[in-house]
Amino acid sequence: MERTDSVYAPTNDLTIFEAADFRNSLVTLLSQDGPVTVDLSHVHQIDSSCIQILLAAHRSGRLTVAGISEQFRLKATQLGCRELIGN
């Protein structure tokens, strides 16, 4: 049986106010088998709380981040989380 990625594409903002729901969504996805992709292309604003959640999930070895904006790239770099952006 072929595995397919689970894709999670949040919309609007990912800030401290959405962090608990964001974390719970990632925990649910990562509790299932297979790779997980978080598509950030529809996220308008992301803060350090959600970047930290992404980093922790990424370190599971099964999560990749797609749809990376320049804003996200800059914040991840400033926070020392370049591994999230892939280069």
Return the residue matching tokens 């509790």. Answer: 31
Q: Dihedral (C-alpha) 43, 47, 50, 56: value to the nearest 10 degrees?
A: 120
Provide the domain count of the chain: 1
46 assigned to some structural domain: yes
1 assigned to some structural domain: no
Task: Show pLDDT as tens, one digit a residue, over the chain (87 residues).
Answer: 445 679 999 999 999 999 999 999 999 999 999 999 999 999 999 999 999 999 999 999 999 999 999 989 999 999 999 898 875
Closest by alpha carbon to 6, among 42, 75, 57, 71? 57
49 assigned to some structural domain: yes
* Distance, CA of 69 to CA of 87 (rounded, Å): 14
69 assigned to some structural domain: yes
19 assigned to some structural domain: yes
CATH number, domain containing residue 29: 3.30.750.24
72 assigned to some structural domain: yes
* Distance, CA of 79 to CA of 25 (rounded, Å): 23
pTM to 2 decimal places: 0.88
Determine the structural domain holding residue 40 and report its residue range.
Answer: 6-84
Instruction: Determine the residue type at 79.
Output: L
